[in-house]
Homo-oligomer: A and B are copies of this chain.
Amino acid sequence: MGQGANVVDLPPMPVVECIPNVSEGRDPAVLDACSEAIRRAGARLLDVKPDAAHHRTVFSFAGEPAPVKAAVLALFETALARIDLRKHSGEHPRLGAVDVVPFVPIEGVTMADCIAMARAVAADVATRHNLPVFLYEEAAAMPTRRNLEDIRRGEFEGLAAKLQQPGWTPDFGPSTPHLTAGASVIGARMALIAYNINLATNRLDVAKKIATAVRQSSGGLRYVKAMGVELADRGIVQVSMNLTNFDKTPIFRVFELVKREAGRYGVTVLESEIVGLVPAAALTTSAAWYLQLDTFKDEQILENRLRQP
């Protein structure tokens, strides 16, 4: 039975995502200018998430490598012209006007491609704006510089002193801070999924124990960061997570582990929640696991065939 098809393999259109965090979260005019610069460069602006308390905004955009690169450069132009960190104070730590810029491979683009993009953009903006730039995560020049928190420690105010230390010469640009824009951190990483699992209990200790069990740092799954939190308005608790490599540590594995750990306390999963954007592959991989779809190929997804060139 059925109308089986021999689907033709065509190369996918390359898609890279960029998620710059910018140190402005209150002035809509500045944010609109940034959004406009991104769009005009030809990238698809997916999301703009300002946080007034953090005084910080997360931009998400995607597209083929060339327009995405152009959009990042345009964003640097706009942000550096309009943000003065000497007047900046917010709840989120920051090193630069354009604080951090990760490139993420989505489709038809490798991590190596993203690392190359990060390096090219870093070299460009460092020269063009006389800006110190550090590479991080997969693009890091040395293991001690992979972690964003380590690079950012000291923030804008401590930057002049930090740049003089041996071991903190920037990867590109001068060893003195940009007067108003500080320094920037540019790199490449896998797509990150913000994933929460709500438990049918008000026992915060249960959520915290499960978070401890499931996060990498305390012995759990490799690409999971997790914490237990209270959702006081609902009278329940949550295991709040970042999945930092959904290809290696897939959503379904995390779900099943949390569910089983919750069962040890007589607690069931109420629901789970993906916050923000998620690559389709993360979901189809989970569907394929549960449905035991052994021979399934992404080219069988009709919408994927429509998106090919």
Interface residues, chain A, with chain B CB atoms under 8 Å away: 1-8, 15, 17, 19, 44, 46-47, 49, 58, 60, 62-63, 106-107, 191-192, 194-196, 225-227, 229, 240-242, 251-252, 255, 269-280, 283-284, 286-288, 290-296, 300-307
* Shortest Cβ distance from A299 into B: residue: B277
Q: A5-B46, A271-B292, A280-B301 are in contact. List 14 more A-B contacts (CB 8 A).
A: A6-B49, A7-B47, A46-B302, A191-B302, A251-B287, A255-B291, A270-B292, A271-B295, A273-B294, A279-B301, A280-B304, A283-B288, A287-B290, A290-B290
Contacts A194-B3, A241-B1; A286 near B275 (Cβ below 8 A): no
Docked complex Cα distance between A302 and B283 (Å): 11
A41 to chain B, nearest CB (A): 16
Which one of B2, B301, B303 contacts A275 once the chains associate, using CB atoms below 8 Å?
Answer: B2
A34 to chain B, nearest CB (A): 16
Interface pairs (15), CB distance under 8 Å? A1-B227, A2-B194, A2-B196, A2-B275, A4-B194, A5-B49, A5-B58, A7-B47, A271-B292, A272-B291, A272-B293, A273-B296, A277-B300, A277-B301, A280-B303
Which residues of chain B are near A280, meaning CB under 8 Å? 280, 284, 301-304
Contacts A242-B1, A290-B252, A294-B273; A47 near B6 (Cβ below 8 A): yes
A217 to chain B, nearest CB (A): 13
Docked complex Cα distance between A251 and B290 (Å): 11
Docked complex Cα distance between A194 and B106 (Å): 28
Which residues of chain B are near A194, meaning CB under 8 Å? 1-4
A309 to chain B, nearest CB (A): 10
Quickly give the copy total for this chain.
2
Which residues of chain B are near A49, meaning CB under 8 Å? 3-6
Docked complex Cα distance between A145 and B284 (Å): 37
Which residues of chain B are near A300, meaning CB under 8 Å? 274, 276-278
Which one of B17, B271, B305 contacts A46 once the chains associate, using CB atoms below 8 Å?
Answer: B305
Docked complex Cα distance between A6 and B227 (Å): 22
Which residues of chain B are near A271, meaning CB under 8 Å? 292-295
Docked complex Cα distance between A8 and B290 (Å): 30
Docked complex Cα distance between A290 and B296 (Å): 18
List the 5 shortest-distance A-B pairs measured between CB atoms, nearest first. A2-B194, A5-B276, A4-B275, A271-B294, A283-B287
Which residues of chain B are near A251, meaning CB under 8 Å? 287, 291
Docked complex Cα distance between A291 and B258 (Å): 11
CB of A1 within 8 A of CB of B240, answer: yes
A271 to chain B, nearest CB (A): 4
Which residues of chain B are near A46, meaning CB under 8 Å? 5, 7, 302, 305-306
